[in-house]
């Protein structure tokens, strides 16, 4: 067959706004996806909720839980399955036409976000108020979390096994919570401190109540009143905080932002924008992929990917082992290693956008811009690429080929200026299997703030690029 003549290649690498070439069909798709994302993000404000929402969407699309398959089941190309871990991590697969041993195409995102976790013995009374002590989770600028409305999400688990899930502060009629801040009139000393010291970790205590119990003999009547309410409403006692996971997050739904509604302001774009785009890519596949397609939603990335639900665990490896167990040849240790080593992965995580208010931290040629498409980040790390997975140029070229072929606008960017700081993702933990990994995700402004901002166009391009990545058949060797 004669080769189709390629479009004339530009001599220079120029990045442009995607709005210049957005087709009417893509424009409509962008709004559809954004609407769906607003619903997803408003529902999935913790890792547990993101897990539950993902499982709900997977099951609605016909994905079956690997744990529930009848003994002796055999998977065939096109079969859709998933495996969930501890209610906080998920791996979903669409079985490909090629043997597993030829490698999977994996999108790995994380579903935990920075927040304030309630301590295990948190409740105290002071100054006619009851407060809950917290321990922040992930990298936050502490001053951003005071004097804003907070919602409480999470679970109490009782020794008898009863699990009580709760969400307070999201419905219009719900009460919200807050951390008080010092009035400027009396903040002379505070204002002399650095921004890192102005609000301290131990100062992030959330005001939870102020009315006393009617118990005349009680010493701490306001604390007691909170415990009475918790008992009435949830059937829990103070010791149950010990086995609880309660998270304070910014209260309220995500919103469209800008006069033109081109952006989305929401809590947890890092990394639920990429988790959502990955899920959409898998759910919108629309066919049997050549290689088995996998979406992995990991927990604990914001605290170093440790723990049994973090990327450092064997969760992915075990899930793929289960797949082998359900294929014709059965479990095969060497086959599993080969499958992982031959896999292609996008570490689907956000990157920082250039911020015109803080131009000093980015190097313009290598900083991502709003509305210029999904960001391809060859390496992260800090101070001399320390800790970076650094994708191979060969693999970056494959991703360029795939994205260009799918009309998914992309841009290449680092995270900030050299020596300015840096960061990491789960890329290096995917890379430990020997697979090809590239960081690739949506650009974010105000990352790790209570309210982060993304562009709708960039989210669309992530969805398009990710889907094409899962469907790619790789070029013939």
Binding span for Mn ion by CB under 5 A among 15-23, 206-214, 269-277, 352-360? 269-277
Determine which residue in the list 47, 49, 205, 270 makes contact with Mn ion, applying CB under 5 A: 270
Return the range that interacts with Mn ion (CB under 5 A); candidates 3-11, 167-175, 215-223, 268-276.
268-276
Q: Closest distance between Mn ion and the C-beta of residue 109, in Å? A: 8
Q: Binding segment for Mn ion among 5-13, 54-62, 267-275, 399-407 (CB under 5 A)? A: 267-275
> Smallest distance, Å, CB 312 to Mn ion?
15
Q: Least separation, in Å, of the C-beta of 330 and Mn ion? A: 37
Instruction: Please spell the DSSP secondary structure of 283-323, one letter per residue.
Output: HT--S--SSEEEEEEEB-GGGTS-STTBTTSSHHHHHHHHH
Up-side HSE of residue 161: CA atoms within 13 Å toward CB? 0
> Is residue 41 left, alpha or beta, with left meaning phi > 0 and alpha meaning psi from -120 to 50?
alpha
Size of the site for Mn ion (CB under 5 A): 3
Q: Identify which of residues 61 and 265 has a Cβ nearer to Mn ion in the complex.
A: 265
Shortest CA distance to 438 belongs to which of 475, 477, 401? 401
Q: Give the burial class of 190: count Cβ atoms within 10 A of its Cβ; 0-12 exposed, 13-18 middle, 19 or more buried.
A: middle
Alpha-carbon 106 to chain mean position:
15
Considering only the stretches 244-252, 303-311, 346-354, 413-421, report the one whose residues sit in contact with Mn ion under the rule CB under 5 A. 346-354
Minimum CB separation of residue 263 from Mn ion in Å reads 19
In the range 51-90, which residues lie near Mn ion by CB under 5 A?
none
* Binding status of residue 26 toward Mn ion by CB under 5 A: no
The sign one gets for the Cα dihedral 398, 400, 405, 406 is: positive
- Which residue stretch of 246-254, 332-340, 348-356, 413-421 sits at the interface with Mn ion (rule: CB under 5 A)? 348-356
- Pairwise CA distance, residues 136 & 119, whole Å: 9
The residues near 324 (Cβ < 8 Å, ≥ 6 apart) are: 100, 330, 331, 332, 335, 336, 339
Choose one: 160-168, 287-295, 335-343, 349-357; the region binding Mn ion (CB under 5 A): 349-357
- Residue with smaller CB distance to Mn ion, 53 or 270: 270
Cβ at position 350, least distance to Mn ion in Å: 5
- Least separation, in Å, of the C-beta of 210 and Mn ion? 35
CA dihedral 170, 174, 180, 184 (to 10 degrees): 90
Considering the complex, state which of residue 205 and residue 349 has its C-beta at the smaller distance from Mn ion: 349
Residue 389 C-beta: closest distance to Mn ion, Å: 14
Q: Please pick, from the candidates 271, 322, 414, 472, the single residue that binds Mn ion as defined by CB under 5 A.
A: 271
47 makes contact with Mn ion (CB under 5 A): no
**DSSP H or E run through 353:** none
Residue 247 or 349: which CB sits closer to Mn ion? 349
Instruction: For Mn ion, give the closer residue by CB, 310 or 335.
Output: 310
State the pairing for strand pair 422-423/374-377: unpaired
Identify the H or E element spanning 250: strand 244-250
Distance CA 421, CA 113 (A): 20
Nearer to Mn ion, 271 or 322 (CB): 271
Give the CA-trace dihedral at 274, 302, 450, 165, to 10 degrees.
Answer: 90
Q: Which is nearer to Mn ion, 292 or 347 (CB)?
A: 347
- Per-residue interface string for the shown chain with Mn ion, residues 303-342, x marking contact by CB under 5 A: ----------------------------------------
Q: Under a CB-based contact definition with an 8 Å cutoff, are residues 179 and 198 in contact? A: no
Q: Which is nearer to Mn ion, 331 or 358 (CB)?
A: 358
Q: Which stretch binds Mn ion (CB under 5 A): 76-84, 121-129, 271-279, 431-439?
A: 271-279
Closest separation in Å from C-beta 110 to Mn ion: 6
Residue 292 or 313 having the CB closest to Mn ion: 313
- With CB under 5 A as the contact rule, the residue among 112, 312, 322, 349 that binds Mn ion is 349
- Residues 439-458 binding Mn ion (CB under 5 A) are none
Residue with Cβ nearer Mn ion (247 or 271): 271
Stated as kind and residue range, the H or E segment containing 471 is helix 456-471
On whether the CB atoms of residues 78 and 288 are closer than 8 A, the answer is yes
Residues 6+ apart with CB under 8 A from 155: 48, 163, 164, 165, 166, 244, 245, 246
Shortest Cβ 29–Mn ion spacing (Å): 25
112 binds Mn ion (CB under 5 A): no
Residue 349 CB, nearest approach to Mn ion (Å): 4
Q: Which of 379, 377, 354, 374 is nearest to 447 (CA)?
A: 354
β partners of residue 264: 256, 454
Residue 341 · residue 435 · CB < 8 Å: yes
Crossing angle of helices 315-325 and 333-341, rounded to 10° = 120
> By the criterion CB under 5 A, which residues form the site for Mn ion?
270-271, 349
């Amino acid at each position: 067959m004669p080769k189709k003549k390629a479009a004339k290649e530009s001599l220079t690498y120029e990045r442009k706004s995607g709005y210049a070439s957005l087709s009417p069909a893509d424009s409509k798709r962008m709004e559809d996806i954004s609407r769906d994302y607003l619903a997803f993000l408003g529902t999935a404000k913790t890792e547990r909720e993101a897990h539950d929402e993902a499982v709900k969407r997977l099951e609605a699309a016909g994905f079956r839980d690997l744990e529930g398959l009848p003994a002796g089941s055999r998977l065939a190309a096109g079969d859709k399955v998933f495996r969930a871990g501890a209610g906080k991590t998920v791996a979903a697969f669409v079985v490909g036409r090629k043997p597993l041993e030829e490698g999977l195409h994996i999108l790995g995102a994380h579903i935990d976000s920075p927040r304030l976790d309630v301590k295990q013995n948190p409740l105290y009374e002071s100054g006619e108020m009851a407060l809950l002590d917290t321990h922040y989770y992930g990298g936050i600028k502490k001053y951003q979390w005071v004097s804003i409305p907070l919602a409480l999400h999470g679970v109490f688990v009782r020794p008898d096994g009863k699990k009580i899930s709760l969400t307070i502060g999201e419905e219009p009629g719900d009460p919200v919570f807050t951390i008080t801040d010092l009035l400027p009139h009396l903040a002379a000393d505070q204002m002399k401190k650095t921004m890192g010291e102005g609000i301290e970790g131990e100062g992030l205590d959330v005001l939870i109540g102020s009315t006393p119990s009617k118990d005349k003999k009680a010493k701490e009547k306001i604390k007691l009143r909170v415990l009475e309410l918790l008992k009435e409403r949830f059937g829990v006692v103070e010791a149950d905080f010990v086995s609880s996971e309660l998270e304070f997050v910014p209260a309220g739904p995500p919103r469209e932002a800008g006069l033109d509604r081109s952006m989305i302001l929401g809590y947890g774009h890092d990394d639920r924008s990429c988790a959502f785009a990955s899920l959409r890519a898998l759910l919108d596949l629309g066919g049997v992929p050549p290689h088995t397609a996998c979406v992995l939603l990991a927990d604990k990335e914001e605290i170093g990917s440790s723990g049994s639900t973090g990327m450092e665990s064997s969760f992915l490896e075990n899930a793929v082992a289960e797949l082998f167990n359900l294929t014709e040849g059965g479990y095969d240790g060497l086959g599993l290693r080969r499958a992982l080593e031959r896999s292609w992965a996008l570490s689907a995580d956000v990157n920082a956008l250039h911020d015109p208010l803080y131009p000093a931290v980015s190097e313009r040629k290598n900083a991502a811009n709003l509305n210029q498409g999904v960001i391809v980040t060859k390496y992260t790390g800090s101070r001399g690429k320390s800790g970076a997975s650094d994708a191979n140029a060969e693999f970056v070229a494959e991703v360029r080929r795939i994205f260009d072929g799918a009309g998914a606008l992309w841009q290449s960017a680092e995270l900030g200026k050299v020596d300015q700081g840096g960061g990491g993702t789960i890329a290096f933990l995917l890379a430990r299997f020997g697979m090809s990994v590239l960081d690739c995700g949506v650009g974010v402004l105000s990352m790790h703030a209570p309210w982060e901002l993304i562009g709708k166009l960039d989210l669309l391009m992530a969805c398009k690029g990710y889907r094409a990545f899962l469907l790619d058949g790789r070029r013939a060797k």
